[in-house]
Amino acid sequence: MKVVILCILQSLFLTSIGFGSEMYIELRNFEERDLPDFYEWASDPDVTQFLMWDNYKNKESAREFLVRVAIPHPWLKAIVCDGKVVGSISLEPGKGSKQKVAEVGYVIAKKYWSRGIGTAALKAALKTGFDDLDLVRIEAYVDPCNLASIKVIEKSGMTREGYLRKCILQKGVIKDRLLYALTR
């Protein structure tokens, strides 16, 4: 399906990336009213399979994350499609010597997979994130088994820089990661 992105970031400016068509995607800050949509994918174990966090088991803990982490976060956006929040994308800047480098992370609700939304959202984040956070480098760390995410990253123009063996403890298991990056 073709996609048009309308990316409204912090209600300050509008970016459009044209794919030419029927679906509209907006990136905006989270609000508390997003809880039902957020919980739909954040409670899904298929969605969190490759992620560092476990699926939420109740709405109260999901609400706490929304209020304490997502809403005040400097760059964690809701991905909105036809008025529904279908996922999220974040840029997490490092500290000290890593302050010009951010790691990107993203999630799409299962029933919206394979419609081009993940790729459109990542392209939008790469387009605006450097200026928003004054970055020189954006990194993505991906599980080598996460083929859909590898496709999204490669379609978005990030460069594979390495295969990091046994580099992370994920939910009690030592895992490998592919490292991708885009610099400017």
Ligand X SMILES: CC(C)(COP(=O)(O)OP(=O)(O)OC[C@H]1O[C@@H](n2cnc3c(N)ncnc32)[C@H](O)[C@@H]1OP(=O)(O)O)[C@@H](O)C(=O)NCCC(=O)NCCS
Strand partners, 178: 142, 163
Determine which residue in the list 14, 69, 145, 147 makes contact with ligand X, applying CB under 6 A. Answer: 147
Joined tokens for residue 154:
């490669």
**DSSP state string for 39-68:** HHHHT-HHHHTTSSSPPPSSHHHHHHHIII
Least CB distance to ligand X at residue 97 (A): 24
| 114 binds ligand X, rule: CB under 6 A | yes
Is the CB of 9 or the CB of 124 nearer to ligand X?
124
**DSSP state string for 99-156:** TTEEEEEEEE-GGGTTSSHHHHHHHHHHHHHHHHHT-SEEEEEE-TT-HHHHHHHHHT
| 90 binds ligand X, rule: CB under 6 A | no
Is the CB of 51 or the CB of 71 nearer to ligand X?
51
Per the CB < 8 A criterion, the answer to whether 82 and 66 are in contact is: no
Amino acid at residue number 105: G
| 108 binds ligand X, rule: CB under 6 A | yes
| 124 binds ligand X, rule: CB under 6 A | no
Determine which residue in the list 117, 125, 138, 182 makes contact with ligand X, applying CB under 6 A. Answer: 117
| 151 binds ligand X, rule: CB under 6 A | yes
**Interface with ligand X (CB under 6 A):** 47, 50-51, 106-108, 113-119, 142, 146-149, 151-152
